Amino acid sequence: MSNKVKNILLVGVGGQGTILVSKILSSGLLNAGYDVKMSEIHGMAQRGGSVSTQVRFGEKVHSPIMAHGQADILVSFEMMEALRWMKYLSPEGKVVINDYQIPSAPILFGKVDYPEGVAQIISKKVNATIIKASEIAAKIGNARTMNIVLFGALVKSMKLTEIDWESAIRDNVKSNMVDINIAAFKAGMETVN
């Protein structure tokens, strides 16, 4: 498989705003001259299910989907979803995890407990950045920009800072939400060294 193509995997729970991030990400990459392919699954997953979006970019991209062990970065909008999707990550890959738990149905109904120590389990194996994105977003003034905080961390981790992301954000959010999303984006970038 081609080494030049970069693979980004965004995972979370339906309704967390992964789709907006993938939109901003892919439009920014396209405008920067990359070939881009993005794949996501709609349908039943929207009813509180686990969701994933794959973004692949490079000089020439064929497949819209990646293999296990191929993701250069895994951005998880929810804590335990990071572990669920870990098999997709390359052993040299990075993980950005939102320190935010959304219990799934079996947990809510008291059948099982939310798994403990997910961040530690993952940090032992790979380069992981754990972010309290919802707290950061709330401080900026809108908890719903949590997804854009994570997007900022993704951009910094992937060293994609030279791309004009502010325009990409402007093109994809409502005009009265541009400033706060750009602030969230910048705060997200600051979480990564």
Partner 1 sequence: MTKLLTGNEAVALGVWEAGISYACAYPGTPSTEILENIAANYKKDILAEWAPNEKVALECAIGASIAGVRTISTMKMVGVNVAADPLFSFAYSGVNGAMILVSADDPGLHSSQNEQDNRYYAKFAKIAMLEPSNSQESKDMIKSAVEISEEFDTPILFRMTTRICHSKSPVNEGERITPVKKPYIKNPAKYDLVPSVSKALHYILEDKLKRLQAFSETTPLNFIQWNSKKIGIVTSGISYQYAQEVFGTNASYLKLGFTFPLPIEKIRAFSKEVEILYVIEENEPFIEEQIKAAGIQCIGKEKLPNVDELTPEIIARELLGKELQTIDIDTSIVPGRPPTLCAGCPHRGFYVELRKLKNIMITGDIGCYSLGGNEPLNAKDTTICMGASISMGHGAQKAFDLFDENKRTIATIGDSTFFHTGINSLMHVAYNRSRTITCILDNRTTGMTGHQNNPGTGYTLMGMPTKEADIEAVCRAIGIEHVRTINPLNLEEVKATLKWAMALDLPSVIITRWPCVLKKFTEGDIEEFGDYFGKCEVVADACTGCKNCLKTGCPALQYSKADNKVVIDQVQCVGCEVCKQVCKFDAIERKQKA
Chain residues binding partner 1 by CB under 8 A are: 1-2, 13-14, 26-27, 30, 35-50, 61-70, 80-81, 83-84, 86-91, 103-115, 121-122, 125-126
Instruction: Name which of 154 and 189 has its Cβ closer to partner 1.
Output: 154
Amino acid identity, position 182: I
Least separation in angstroms between residue 19's CB and partner 1 is: 11
Instruction: Name which of 86 and 137 has its Cβ closer to partner 1.
Output: 86
Least separation in angstroms between residue 102's CB and partner 1 is: 9
Instruction: Name which of 26 and 191 has its Cβ closer to partner 1.
Output: 26
Least separation in angstroms between residue 59's CB and partner 1 is: 13
Instruction: Name which of 29 and 189 has its Cβ closer to partner 1.
Output: 29
Instruction: Name which of 7 and 181 has its Cβ closer to partner 1.
Output: 7
Least separation in angstroms between residue 2's CB and partner 1 is: 7
Least separation in angstroms between residue 55's CB and partner 1 is: 9
> Mind giving me the DSSP string for the chain?
--SSSEEEEEEEETTSSHHHHHHHHHHHHHHTT-EEEEEE--SGGGTT-EEEEEEEEESS---SS--TT-EEEEEESSHHHHHHTGGGEEEEEEEEEE------HHHHTTSSPPPS-HHHHHHHHSEEEEE-HHHHHHHHT-GGGHHHHHHHHHHHHTT-TTS-HHHHHHHHS-GGGHHHHHHHHHHHHHT--
